[in-house]
Amino acid sequence: MNRKPLFDLLRRLMRRPFRQGEVDEIDAALDDVLTDRRSANTSLQVSTAGIALIKSFEGCARMRADGMVEAYPDPGTGGAPWTIGWGATGPGIGPETLWTREECDARLRTDLERFGSEVETALAGAVTSQAQFDALVSFHYNTGAIGRATLTRRHRAGDHAGAAAEFARWKYAGGRVLKGLVRRREAEAALYRSGSQPAG
């Protein structure tokens, strides 16, 4: 972008030349605006780092000796929702469900597209870094709560510190704190913070 016409206009309006510090501040502000516009208009997809985070906590559990993967009960309730592969739940998944590893991987790809799209919709165009998006997709993949969570509202408002603090609230399953959820929320918050710009 050629910034000279903008600077010329501002000089005329101010009726004096700029000091170097003012030029630097205007340049930085323009950089922020242009970066924000690109971020807000670019469709994000879960990165390799985001997928690795999700896989590290979901695991492709209950692999049998014959190579098939079997469903398992929710650790918080001891029953529904039944889960298989990389954390897949939903209709048709119950105590007798068996999938191949290829079916587990294919379902993960489909689920990540769906959850990523739902996160993008919930963020309503808010400027979001790749690390923040990955953390939010992991959160939503596990909780399904991106549309109602306070952390989403705080992110949309630009309160990234407040949003990061909200992850820790989502550590309960079946009415009790699960250590695995505490660890997952800590990892998601750390990833989210790594993509946040300091205020100022």
Q: Mapping DSSP to helix (H, G, I), strand (E, B) and coil, where does residue 76 land?
A: coil
Catalytic residue among 58, 120, 166, 188: 58
With contact defined as beta carbons under 8 Å apart, do 71 and 95 qualify? yes
SS3 content of the chain, % helix, strand, coil (to 5): 55, 5, 35
CA–CA gap between residue 195 and residue 172 (Å, rounded): 26
Q: Active site includes 58?
A: yes
DSSP 19-59: PHHHHHHHHHHHHHHHHHHHHHHSPP---HHHHHHHHHHH-
With contact defined as beta carbons under 8 Å apart, do 87 and 142 qualify? yes
CA–CA gap between residue 13 and residue 178 (Å, rounded): 61
Residue whose token pair is 């990955």: 134
Cβ within 8 Å of residue 6, ≥6 positions away: 30
Q: Report the catalytic residues.
A: 58
